[in-house]
Amino acid sequence: MKSFNSEIVAPDVDYLINGENVGRPLIISFSFAFWERPCEFDFIGRFKKIEGLYDQPFNSIFLRDRHSLWYHRGVNGLGNNIGDVVAFLKLKIEHLQPSMIVTIGQSMGGYAALIFGALLKADKIISFAPLSFIDPEKLNFFGDRRYYQALKKINDIKLDVKYLDVLEVFSSVKHDPEIHVVFGVDGDSDRELVHMDSMHALRLQALPGCVLHALEGVGHLVVKHLADNEMMDSFLLKHIFNYEIGEKSLSNDIEFGWYKWIFDNTIAGAPIESLRVAIENSGSENKAALIEELKRAGNDPYIRAARELKLELDKRNWLLNTFDSLSALDSRYSEKIESRHVPAFEDFIREYYSKGLPVILKGGVDDWPALKKWGPHYFKTNFGDSLIEVQYGRSNDPSYEKNSLIYKKKMKMGDFCDLVTSCGSSNDFYLTANNNKASHEGLHDLFEDVGDFGIGYRDMRNIASRSHLWFGPKGTITQFHHDLTNNMLVQIYGRKKLILVPAFQVQNMYNDHHVYSAVRFPDVNESFHPKFKKNTFIEVVLEPGDAIFIPIGWWHYVESLDVSISVSFTDFNTNNNFFEFYPR
């Protein structure tokens, strides 16, 4: 898996390219300023470690500005200004077709990560203690004189001033990536009446998608602080790859699993003495520490508070179980989903939507031109040059849905159609609803072939933007999850199999992240997930022209039995905005 093997080709070249992994993420690192000697490449050693921890290859480009002029003199070997460097990076991006672009840097490099991230339309920007603008007179006015003499040289070389303010650059490119700004809130000098890094960070908060991470007791050297406290790896893995790694061992070398065991049993009311005996008879090497922790837990006020919360949760689970048992008296809930011709909208609301009851509906899209026209050949012929975004390279990751952001790839619809029709069966690439926003411009005209469902089911004002396309080969799988809205899934081309589990059985689904189940279906490890088999599983197959109403909260597993094209929509002519209240 390791791919860090590039070398600098010449001493006067200030860039380093690592990796030729087409379709994999690309991280571009910008160095910080050095005053005594030329800049070094930043984050090289860190990325080596990150690649090992993540165990997935990615591409990286390291840039340094030996002039320490915030990249306004360019990068030796790439060009003499920011525009030249951007042009080079765009060519590299076109070659690599990365699933995700990330820019990163600290201080001067943090400013560059923001500027270049905007110009390259990066998906994510990680910026440590950046400046939000570098005009020296403006900095002087705000009391930030830390780099005044160095930045005066930028004016001396009389370059384009359009890159001096991060907010103005973002305004001109109209791009809203995910941005993480990490900064310390303690000034590095007694003369800083207002901490300058905080001032710049708060100014950047005006950018959509910008998240501030303020560190108390830390000055400008936030990267050193995170590294010294062994928090840097977990921060980068989480905010670049959405990948969590275990924290350091807890105090007294007690494994987290033992802490959870003590917690679960004490809040359940198990006698402390019986738990002590269980620890004594265990094979743990930390019995003495565990018993001390058990004694502490027995008198901990937080444990007593947790018991009250558990009682409240148990009452709600009792109510869910009761509703589940009562609902099962209707065979449409517990045995076979009803299939019928599309009813009048008011009947649909009364019989299914308001009851949270799924149903297969036929005849709702008989007048959609899509039903007669759509297919891979039609897509390629009429939209072949349209640029789309797809999930790509995901089949080796069992958590590909949770990590979907790192598997995004831009390509032409014609090329994607060729992949879909030539691969046989594959779960490696799939155009999903999550890709639709990025693909909307190229496919807007496609949704002229989509309309109302039945009569009056949909809000017709935003048909194109509220119709979500799913297109992929035989073998694409979406693991068990539930939606935060009521959904209608319409099958246009090919067949799809769905397995549904009622919403009231959520306590058996092992919901571990957002709306996803931790269970990998159908290869369920019952040792880890023993309650999963208690669920009611209802299987249906959709043919072209069929639609299934999937009520909010109903768990579903979806598998394409053929090359498949589907459309889902949520714009019912009634209330469906429950996702606004979902706890996050």
Element (H, E) at 542: strand 538-542
Instruction: Identify which of 471, 473, 477 has the alpha carbon closest to the alpha carbon of residue 491.
Output: 471
Return d(Cα 132, Cα 124) in angstroms, integer.
17
The SS3 assignment for 113 reads: helix
Instruction: Name the nearest CA neighbour of 529 among 483, 478, 479.
Output: 479
Residue 194 gets which letter from DSSP?
S
Q: How far apart (Å, rounded) are the C-alpha atoms in residues 98 and 94?
A: 8
Question: What is the average per-residue pLDDT within 407-426?
Answer: 93
Task: Assign 256 a pLDDT band (cuts: 50, 70, 90).
Answer: low
Q: How far is CA 451 from the centre of its chain?
A: 31
Q: Where are the domains of the chain?
A: 15-241, 249-329, 331-573
> pLDDT class for 323, splitting at 50, 70, 90?
very high
Name residues whose C-beta falls within 8 Å of residue 204's C-beta, 6 or more positions apart in sequence. Answer: 114, 127, 130, 132, 166, 167, 179, 181, 210, 212
Q: Give the residue carrying structure tokens 């500005």.
A: 65
HEC string of 230-275 equals CCHHHHHHHHHHCCCCCCCCCHHHCCHHHHHHHHHHHHCCCCHHHH
Could you tell me the CATH superfamily of domain 331-573? Answer: Cupin (2.60.120.650)
- What tokens appear for 385 in the block? 């040059």
- 272-280 vs 287-298: helix crossing angle, rounded to 10: 170
Rounded to two decimals, the pTM is: 0.57
The model's confidence at residue 440, banded by pLDDT at 50, 70 and 90, is: confident
CATH number for the region 15-241 comes to: 3.40.50.1820
Which pLDDT tens digit goes with each residue over 237-253? Answer: 888 888 766 543 333 44
What count of Cα atoms within 13 Å lies in the side-chain half-sphere of residue 358?
Answer: 30
pLDDT grade, residue 187 (50/70/90)? low
Contact 524, 436 (CB under 8 A): no
pLDDT-above-90 percentage for the chain: 47
What pLDDT score does 514 carry? 87
**Cα end-to-end distance, the chain, whole Å:** 34
Reported residue count of the chain is 584
447-457: pLDDT as tens digits: 999 999 999 99
Give yes or no for residue 375 having a pLDDT over 60.
yes
pLDDT of 522 higher than 50 = yes
> Which of 7-11, 265-269, 476-480 is the least confident region?
7-11
Closest CA to 391 of 485, 471, 474: 471
Can you tell me the distance from the alpha carbon of 209 to that of 127, in angstroms, rounded to the nearest whole number? 13
- Closest Cα to residue 479, out of 399, 549, 542, 541? 399
pLDDT digit string, tens, across residues 14-73: 899 988 888 889 999 999 886 555 667 888 888 888 887 777 789 999 999 888 888 888
Of 262-271, 418-427, 497-506, 511-520, least confident by mean pLDDT is 262-271
Q: Which residues 6+ apart lie within 8 Å of 105 measured at CB?
A: 29, 30, 31, 32, 42, 111, 112, 113, 126, 127, 128, 130
CA dist 473 and 426 (Å) reads 6
